[in-house]
Amino acid sequence: MKRRDFVKLSGTTVVSAIVIPPALQSCMAGMKMNMGSSVAVKEGSFDVGLPIPSEVGTTAPLATKSSTFAVVKGKSTATLTYQSNILGPTIRVNTGQTVNAALQNNLSEETNIHWHGLKVPANMDGHPKDLAQAGGSFNYVLPINQRAGTYWYHPHPHKKTGKQVHAGLAGMFIVNDNEEAALNLPSGDFEVPLVIQDKRFSGDQLSYAPTMREVMTGYFGETVIVNGTASPVLTVTTRWYRFRILNGSTARVYNLALKCNGRIPFPGQ
Ligand SMILES: [Cu+2]
């Protein structure tokens, strides 16, 4: 899609910015046999606002806790979270800074945090052997020495990563630098994080119970959520936006598109 087309699209009053095709399959046809029986996505009603996670900087208190959240409008769903209702705060720092992230594990089982995409010391990177036991803590000291980018963090305990991420533990990690600042990209309200995940529900509650086949091939959910919320809507104005898009799902691959009067695929699709 050409840039001017994006401007045109974002000029509409309300845009369901990211539209998930209703029956997503793996985009790699050759993978289908290995992906097991894929779970079709349920179309949402797109009538709730897009929540934006709070931001923290070089001091990042990350206390895990149980919570409840209306992941789907009208349902009260039990979740796990860092500091919030679902997901954790977005950590935003400049390259050259050092992040102190204090994990306090209030779960009834071990957890830890892997810093996905960050070049950090091995003993700080959430290896499954480096754990905070139930009731324990782990202080991560992360010197940030890499260029600007969108990264994320999530639990990484052996055999429990998928379950804990599915329950809501994950967050975005943004690194800024001078090279990026010189580009003068949209920021503030016009820089929008989109953490896309799929969740499986049983009634009002999240359900993580993979079969052996799903352990091998990936766990798919029928409900696609963005920033913890099913089928949200973002109201935009006529100007440039920057979307930071993270696929925080356990296995699903997405074909993203902008939809206005017809589906418009992103470049390269
Ligand atoms: Cu990861």
Q: Tell me the domain boundaries of the chain.
A: 10-264
Structure confidence at residue 28 (pLDDT): 32
What are the two backbone dihedrals, phi and then psi, of residue 3, each rounded to the nearest 5 degrees? -60, -40
pLDDT at residue 20 in the model = 39
Query: How far is Cα 217 from Cα 129, in angstroms, rounded to an integer?
Result: 24
Angle at 255 between CA 32 and CA 251, to 5 degrees: 50
Q: What is the pLDDT of residue 6?
A: 35
Closest among 149, 145, 125 to 244, alpha carbons compared: 149
Distance 228 CA to ligand 1 centre (A): 18
- The structure's pTM equals 0.85
Low-confidence ranges of the chain (pLDDT < 50): 1-36
Report the 10 Å Cβ neighbour count for 40: 12
* 234 alpha carbon – ligand 1 mean position (Å): 27
CATH class as words, domain 10-264: mainly beta
Rounded to the nearest angstrom, the distance between the alpha carbon of 201 and the centre of ligand 1 is 23
Residues whose CB is under 5 A from ligand 1 (ion)? 116
Could you tell me the end-to-end alpha-carbon distance of the chain, in angstroms, rounded to an integer?
A: 10
**What is d(CA 165, CA 80) in angstroms, rounded to the nearest whole number?**
8
